[in-house]
Structure 1
Amino acid sequence: MEKGAERDFALKDFGRPAAPADDALRGWRPIETAPKDGTWFLGWWPESRNLGRQEAIMPGKWNDAPHLEEPRFQDVHDNTLEQPTHWMPLSDAPAALSEDRT
């Protein structure tokens, strides 16, 4: 397959890019190193498709709410069943957007 063809195939079939090929190059980190203070991050949730979702890359955070049997990561849909395998920090908003909101 030509360079970029695998990504195009994934986009065509699933509407989203496939998993990053080179985690270190893209900034993905093992989930064990994710913040556990409620900070939102961008997570790789490969099992989310088991729930009938197309998303595999979405925001998430640590959830240690008392109603949970044990603390877990939750995705942006408040799901705590499937867990991410990798994460990366969310980037700051562009300066122009940040200035407009102040």
Structure 2
Amino acid sequence: MALFFDAAWFDARLAERGLSRTVLAAVAGMGEADLALVFKDQRELSAAEVTAFAELLGVTPGEIAHHAGVSTPVPAVDRLAALEARVAALEAELARLKR
């Protein structure tokens, strides 16, 4: 885990996707001033911001947390949503088998 926010890593991921810090801030629901504080390691990310960063950059929330500094939260997997998805898949398979 990074001790401090790894701005170079985040900038490289953004560049790979042709994106800017402005887009990153918007996707996370942050102002550019807040994002600047994050990049200067003067503000922590929330779990929701970690998730938004991960989705935009195409990496796992764990990888975002790894590069965002020691106290960055790793979002918990939404177990209820995962369970609901599994139940829906099972119900669809059962309906298919009944036909």
TM-score strictly above 0.5: no
More strand by share: 1
The alignment's TM-score, normalised by the length of structure 1, stands at: 0.26
Structure scoring higher RCO (CA < 8 A, sep ≥ 6) equals 2
More helix by share: 2
